[in-house]
Amino acid sequence: MTAPRPAGTVADPVAQADTVVQVRGLTKRYNERITAVDGVSMSVRRGEIYGFLGPNGAGKTTTLRMLLGLVAPTGGTVSVLGRPPGDPAALARIGSLVEGPGFYPYLSGNDNLRVVARYAGVPASRIGEALLSVDLADRARDTFATYSLGMKQRLGVAAALLKDPELVILDEPTNGLDPAGMRDMRRLVRSLGASGRTVLLSSHLLGEVQQICDRVGVIDRGRMLAESTVDQLRGGTELIVAATPPDVARAQLESMHEVESVRPYDGALRVRADDRHTALINRTLVSAGVAVTELRRDERQLEDVFLAMTDHEPDRQEVDDV
């Protein structure tokens, strides 16, 4: 086992007070060949929106299933809302949508939620509100089988919200949604976070995660690569400078002590320097007789970081044109 701590270790109680999900050395081995999750440790704090990132087959869904008690871990410890996974008392406070919505095709959206509400032990009066929050109220009387992909997904999210849950676990919630639906979903997730709920959301849509998540965990091939805030992960921003003649511009920039680094990129220069030095850089270049044709800040996208992290030799041989 590759767990950093032996199974059964209890996390310290102080950290647990506002840690909603605590995972240590979690491992799932399906058989000799497939280790879906390999020694994953992560912690989700109360009230945050946590993004769980990883490429296809990274082990996101498997990890979320283990948090919900659907899949038994091979090793490691899991505590969700202070309880073991799948514990009824914890489940009652968790709303989840894992790997697509599962509903009865012969029941209407409304009736499907009635079944879920009964199982969850919540009053049927919550159904209307849940349907409204995903914008499905006007189709609630139609049978689930007649729903479009996006409508099915919305119903899944509505079901996850029925319990008025403390913790919401969403596995790729924007799957199948159109751009407006995605935007609505982002708003919904943000509003869940704003109302004090904890959201654990898996995705490979990095723009989405970048926009709404407080912290992210990056998983690849079953292993956790990083866990930090989005900003930390992205690192600083860069300044893109297009100027002629480029060699003079480059020499000038490299001579400035405010500039950390300069590298050519796509016919221009990428300059690493603090925000507040932008004007000074411009002035320096201009006074050195360089014609500046473009000067803009470029945020390093989460996508770049993600691809850099999860790009591995055996699987991908793409040549970067940097």
Ligand X SMILES: Nc1ncnc2c1ncn2[C@@H]1O[C@H](COP(=O)(O)OP(=O)(O)OP(=O)(O)O)[C@@H](O)[C@H]1O
Per CB under 6 A, the list member of 57, 123, 207, 264 interacting with ligand X is: 57
Considering the rule CB under 8 A, would residue 123 count as an interface residue with other proteins? no
| Residue 272, token pair as written in the block | 């690493």
Kindly write out the interface string for residues 3-42 of this chain, putting x where it contacts Mg ion by CB under 5 A and - elsewhere: ----------------------------------------
- Could you give the dihedral angle defined by the CA atoms of residues 129, 171, 109 and 189, in that order, rounded to the nearest 10 degrees? 20
In this complex, which beta carbon is closest to ligand X, that of residue 263 or of residue 316? Answer: 316
Do the beta carbons of residue 238 and residue 270 sit within 8 Å?
yes
Reading the block at residue 92, the tokens are: 């009652």
Contact pattern for ligand X over residues 2 through 41, marking x by CB under 6 A: ----------------------------x---x-x-----
From the list Mg ion, ligand X, other proteins, none, which binds 251 (C-beta under 5 to 8 Å, kind-based)? none
Is 62 a binding residue for Mg ion by CB under 5 A? The answer is no
Compute how many residues bind Mg ion; rule: CB under 5 A.
1
Q: Position of tokens 């409204």?
A: 132
Nearer to ligand X, 34 or 308 (CB): 34
Distance, in Å, from the CA atom of 104 to the CA atom of 318, rounded to the nearest integer, reads 43
The DSSP secondary structure of 106-166, one letter per residue, reads TSBHHHHHHHHHHHHT--TTHHHHHHHHTT-GGGTTSBGGG--HHHHHHHHHHHHHTT--S
Residues at the contact surface with other proteins, assessed by CB under 8 A: 65, 68-72, 86, 88, 91-92, 94, 96, 98-107, 111, 114-116, 118-121, 159, 163
